[in-house]
Structure 1
């Protein structure tokens, strides 16, 4: 007798879980509010760059369909604008380096990936229901399934999961987000022979991320501004026209990150749906959602742990959450998926997610002196640059050298022989 599982939400975690459960012989129903075609032809949903561990979870399920087409990202670079240098005259860089990743990273536009995965799920005999689920729907479904997983990170369903105040230091959004997918980006002259995600920090203003990606029309780059609310980058709120959005993106690049603007002078949008703007407060929620009838559902990925994208962890965390939950479900055998089990499944994911949340919330603050020293030293000490870059794959390593001035000093001392 195969167990019946309902997955609500067809993002990275929902689809990865649904496809993984399918291979294990579960009877899986997937609810999505859009068809594969609607996703593919719709608006970009995210920025995403997945590092080695998250990509390996996809490979383990043989879902790495685009691996040969997507750019191989072999580095992660950091540039820091010299404080106050953007007024007047061009901004200078105080820091500029690139770290090498141990295992390459990749970015696949979620329109490409989610549409492709959804079609695969249906081809493999999965039950696909195109319907935006409300809480009342879940009340009904919870009686007919052994387990209901909620992985739709926006909308009404999230309200079923209470905020965990102890793990959520912020009540307001910490950044205003603005994304543009473009063709025609030039290479960074510092490393023309390999691709890297570039993180550009403008102290007191915000951050610009540039990442190579694969989109519906092939190779592209993502230009992603994170602006401190109320500051000069918080300028996209009323902008509806995509070309106006790109023009503003480039204008801000010219002012605050001229070294990135220099390779963006010939860019154009990948498509009319290639822009996105918004903001949300980073929040950790209780993993168990209560239904009016008394039933319980389990929250997945950013339903329960939503971090700001400043550290590029969203899709990585979603992949890691799906992998943790899949293992917990399979290990459960035919025992009931009760609330105690739900909490333990979440705790297993929190083992990795807690490090992401701590690091991300730290990066949203102005960096303390010892962190600036570390980032500065990485320009002279390649092992420090490489270690920082690889922290994006395994953020738990930051505990060893990043948060405490003593540990940072000891680590840098070990590299310089002092």
Structure 2
């Protein structure tokens, strides 16, 4: 029986731990918090998982909240005009539903399941010196904790990291009481509101500790009018500021948010980080090596909503690589090959996310505008959230975009928004 240590208890680490456990591996998970501490703590993220990522949870039969979480059927794009208008406003339909489950709910539940199934759960923060010891004790050590000292073991990959500073200031509020969009009151959808030169507001239906909720998520260009949350400590002030900015820039979203309240005292989050790709192998002082997982080695900005999706896909890829490797040593050559296998998928996400952080070129504006006139184009674009590799065929180069629009426009039916 092979012994594997996973440091970190997020989407990727726990999904991988449960997958390995189901295959008879002896797995230890190190978490710096107990399930109850996670469940009762502050929100950790936004998350909207699309069909391909959710399929990995279904395969492992750990999709415990599928019947409780809202089934998200579409993604809407709105662009704000200078006078509070919406020159662009449309809804694309997803082929398979998406869902969002508060990570406080999911990670606490998964940790408890892992322990109930006989997994070794160690509640303790890990330092590099700890891993030096563990690397001699376990067949493989995986680092899935994307913050803190351990990340410093993984060198930045400058060729794959075009940004060296945060590109957005992030502010999250989990709320109850949000009304529906009147134009599609029956449709659960993620709403992406773009304010040119200012930032973005994302609204997504979710499931939290006390039931259904919605997430209000501002992404502000640093130094701009949305970059005001860094010094706010009071949750009520955080929400009030969120709503003031909605009223100022996105009055159609504010109109359905006048009665919202926070889900709980821990329902806000603010921060920023530089999107970074790192080398996958961390080398320890004693000569051992550990493998980085998910956002430890590929930390994209959340502007395209891909964090939990990439984490799930990484866990699935790593699980396959571990199972296929049998009883051979998990050497550095295997570690690099395992990361490279995952990179084949996540590179599309990274390219798309980095592109969305920059001012959109004309051909991208043309795609977004054309989607308002063609349901086919709208649907094709929003299903890129599920499979970002499809964007390679039409999104990045003007020539491909023009050819796509010409073909799609000729065959398009009327939009439904």
Give, in whole Å, the separation in 2 of the partners of 1:206 and 1:272. Answer: 26
Q: How does 1:34-45 map to 2 (within 5 A)?
A: 34-45=33-44
- 1:139-182 CA distance string (max 9 Å, x none): 00000000000000000000000000000000000000000000
Aligned to 1:110: 103
Residue 294 in structure 1 maps to residue 293 in structure 2: no
In the alignment, the residues of structure 2 paired with residue 94 and residue 309 of structure 1 have an alpha-carbon distance, to the nearest angstrom, of 25
- Matched with 1:65 is 64
1:207 maps to what in 2? 200
Q: Tell me what 1:410 maps to.
A: 403
- Is residue 383 of structure 2 the alignment partner of residue 384 of structure 1? no
**Residue in structure 2 matched with residue 164 of structure 1 by the alignment:** 157
Q: For 1:292-339, what per-residue CA distance to the aligned partner results, in whole angstroms no more than 9, with x for missing partners?
A: 001000000000000000000000000000000000000000000000
1:354 aligns with 2:351: no
Counterpart secondary structure, 2:52: helix
Aligned counterparts of 1:301 and 1:258: Cα–Cα separation in 2: 37
Q: Please give the alpha-carbon distance, in whole angstroms, between the structure 1 residues aligned to 2:89 and 2:394.
A: 20
2:9 aligns with: 10
Give the corresponding residue for 2:25: 26
Tell me the CA shift for residue 257 of structure 1.
Answer: 0.7
Map of 1:242 onto structure 2: 235
- The whole-number CA distance in structure 1 between the counterparts of 2:407 and 2:163 is 35
Mapping 1:245-324, distance limit 5 Å: 245-324=238-317
Q: How does 1:165-184 map to 2 (within 5 A)?
A: 165-184=158-177
Name stretches of at least 5 consecutive residues in structure 2 with no aligned partner. Answer: 412-417
Equivalent residue, structure 2, for 1:121: 114
The alignment partner of 1:93 has SS state of: coil
Corresponding position of 1:220: 213
Residues 1:232 and 2:237 are matched in the alignment: no
Distance 1:195 1:410 in 2: 32
Q: C-alpha displacement at 1:194, in angstroms?
A: 1.1
In structure 1, stretches of 5+ residues that fail to align are none
Report the TM-score, using the length of structure 1 for normalisation.
0.98
**What is the CA deviation profile of residues 242-279 of structure 1, one whole-angstrom value per residue up to 9, with x for unaligned ones?**
00000000000001111110110000000000000000
- CA shift at 1:417, angstroms? 2.4
Please give the alpha-carbon distance, in whole angstroms, between the structure 2 residues aligned to 1:72 and 1:382.
Answer: 20
Structure 1 ranges of 4+ moved more than 4 A: none
Aligned-residue CA RMSD (Å): 0.7
**C-alpha deviation, 1:416, in angstroms:** 2.3
When structure 1 is superposed on structure 2, of 188-197 and 122-131 the one drifting more is 188-197
SS at match of 1:186: coil
- Taking structure 2 as the reference length, what is the TM-score of the superposition? 0.98
Distance 1:110 1:270 in 2: 14
Cα distance in structure 2, aligned partners of 1:286 and 1:24: 28
Deviation at 1:190, TM superposition (A): 1.7
* Aligned counterparts of 2:36 and 2:279: Cα–Cα separation in 1: 33
What SS does structure 2 have at the residue aligned with 1:194? coil
Aligned counterpart for 2:128 among listed residues 135, 139, 150: 135
Which residue of structure 1 aligns with residue 77 of structure 2? Answer: 78
CA distance in 2, matches of 1:417, 1:64: 41
The residue number in structure 1 matching 2:414 is: none
Segment drifting more, 19-28 vs 407-416: 407-416
CA distance in structure 2 between the aligned counterparts of 1:190 and 1:363, rounded to whole angstroms: 27
- Measure, in 1, the Cα distance between the counterparts of 2:336 and 2:153: 15
TM superposition shift of 1:354: 0.2
In the aligned structure 1, how far is the partner of 2:293 from the partner of 2:303?
Answer: 20
1:193 equivalent in structure 2: 186
How many residues are matched? 411
